[in-house]
Amino acid sequence: MSIYRVVGGNKLEGELKVEGSKNAVLPILAATVLNEGISIIENVPALKDVATMLQILKELGCSVEYRDNTVQVDATCISSSEIPETLVRQMRSSIVLLGSLLGRTGKVISTYPGGCAIGVRPIDLHLKGLKMLGANIELMGHIVCESSELKGAEIQLDYPSVGATENIMLAAVKARGTTIIRNAAREPEIGDLQEFLNSMGAKVWGAGGQIIRIEGVDKLHNTSHRVIPDRIIAGTYMAAAAATGGRLKLNDIIIDHLHPVVDKLKEAGCVFEIRGDTLKMTAPKRLMAVDTVRTLPYPGFPTDMQAQFMALMCCARGTSIFIENIFENRYRHVDQLVKMGADIKVDGRTAVIRGVKELRGTLVNAEDLRGGASLVIAGLAAKGTTLVEGVEHIDRGYQDFGSQLNRLGADIQKL
Ligand code: UD1
């Protein structure tokens, strides 16, 4: 188990390129099995979750090469329909393979992914959607989905779930006829999946809106695709620089994806200069508290930025209220921030953060990916040294997090 040793107090200044999006690349990698051929995917971040997905693809029979952030998947010969249990346990989002494997082989066996640190995370909407496309689903210890022929259907999602929208899109690509997904998730990663699928010959329209239409096709072809930049990583580095009163230039951003976070940073007193795919942010010496941070499906404020933004508000001038609407157990970083001197009260989904003058470094424990990033951010702003345990959670979503921050002037060591 590794630990980050963060010496606080350094102002972060400098420039970074935003890496490719984890949440976009995972469903895209799952989608590669739909094509009996080769997919080349560029801008793939070197993350633990990506490595797990590539391992799963290999176990299914794909030949996989990963070099210089480019992945080549040859899915000509799929020899298994079973997703290995150990790998499902390592990465919940392997669940998107249900739709793509079903579309390719007509059968898929997976372990139930179960809950995780941030909540129960059911998959009822995924399974309901696949059933409506004609899959026969048995849940007896394992999930077994089978279908001799998937047929297009009109599916109204009870909630705009990102994973369920992706799973249904993937299963519908080769289904007979038209599928309509209503109340679909609108996250940019869904748009990137649509781009990838269409680049290999699928017919998908509407991603980014609430209604997605998929016309089933018989055959797909070889393709290459570049993954969109990671909006959560961009947001995390902005939060890190803002926590230290710093200045940051980010390259390779898509500003449209960043408005929910940029607007909150503006409210906190940060100033932005945005030109094409670059952004410059200058933070004030002390941030102002923002009134309310309410997590919502895109284009609302992302739940994946809630913890990092809370770390920022700990030392802001005034009181902020956070309302976590997406996951029921996403305040696990709060106790750790309180250990560092933060003044936070939680009641159910609401947290009230009263800004304090300073945080103090101490030993804290990262229990999930974004919560872990928030503790590093708090450590950068704190007086003294913070030891963050549970770095493996952070490595799931950030490529060289410590080294990247050090390039901006942080003092972080991985022990
Ligand atoms: C994805 C992201 C995750 C992000 C989340 C919300 C990936 C790999 N992960 O997760 O980083 O935090 O979107 O933006 O892209 N739900 C159900 N039934 C279902 C599915 C979901 O009740 O069948 C509920 C969940 O418990 C949760 C809410 O819907 O409360 C949102 O979940 P969902 O949008 O599905 O998130 P994920 O796709 O798991």
What is the DSSP secondary-structure string of 122-189? --HHHHHHHHHTT-EEEEESEEEEE-SS-B--EEE-SS--HHHHHHHHHHHTTSBSEEEEES----HH
CB atoms within 10 A of CB 399: 18
- The fourth-level CATH superfamily of domain 22-226 is Enolpyruvate transferase domain (3.65.10.10)
- Kindly report the protein residue whose alpha carbon is nearest to atom 4 of ligand 1: 304
CA 303: distance to chain centroid? 10
Distance 337 CA to ligand 1 centre (A): 25
Q: Are 398 and 13 contacting, i.e. CB atoms less than 8 angstroms apart?
A: no
Q: Which residues are catalytic?
A: 116
Distance 119 CA to ligand 1 centre (A): 10
pLDDT for the residue numbered 317: 98
The sign of the torsion formed by the CA atoms of 370, 336, 310, 359 equals negative
- Kindly report the protein residue whose alpha carbon is nearest to atom 35 of ligand 1: 161
Q: Which residues line ligand 1 (CB under 6 A)?
A: 23, 26, 93, 119, 121-126, 159, 161-164, 185, 189, 303-304, 326-327
Distance 162 CA to ligand 1 centre (A): 6
Buried b (16+ CB within 10 A) or exposed e, 93-119: bbbbbbbbbbbbbbbbbbbebeeeebe
Distance, CA of 187 to CA of 54 (rounded, Å): 23
Q: How long a stretch of residues is the chain?
A: 415
Residue range 3-19+229-414, CATH number: 3.65.10.10
Residues of the chain with CATH 3.65.10.10: 3-19+229-414, 22-226
pLDDT for the residue numbered 140: 83
Tell me the per-residue pLDDT of 243-296, one tens digit each, with 9 for 90 and over.
999 999 999 999 999 999 999 999 999 999 999 999 999 999 999 999 999 999
* Ligand 1 site-directed mutation target among 123, 132, 162, 305, most atoms within 8 Å of CB: 162
Mean pLDDT across 226-237? 98
The pTM of the full predicted model, rounded to 2 decimals, is 0.97
Q: Are 253 and 275 contacting, i.e. CB atoms less than 8 angstroms apart?
A: no
CA 47: distance to chain centroid? 12
Among 49, 30, 52, which residue's Cα sits nearest to residue 41? 30
Is the confidence at residue 203, as pLDDT, over 70? yes
Q: State percent of the chain over pLDDT 70.
A: 99
Confidence of residue 115 (pLDDT cuts 50, 70, 90): low
Distance, CA of 216 to CA of 361 (rounded, Å): 56
Distance 163 CA to ligand 1 centre (A): 6
The arrangement of strands across the sheet holding 350-354 comes to 292-294, 319-323, 350-354, 343-347
Distance, CA of 146 to CA of 109 (rounded, Å): 9
**Among 70-79, 113-122, 282-291, the least confident range:** 113-122
> What are 354's strand-pairing partners?
319, 343
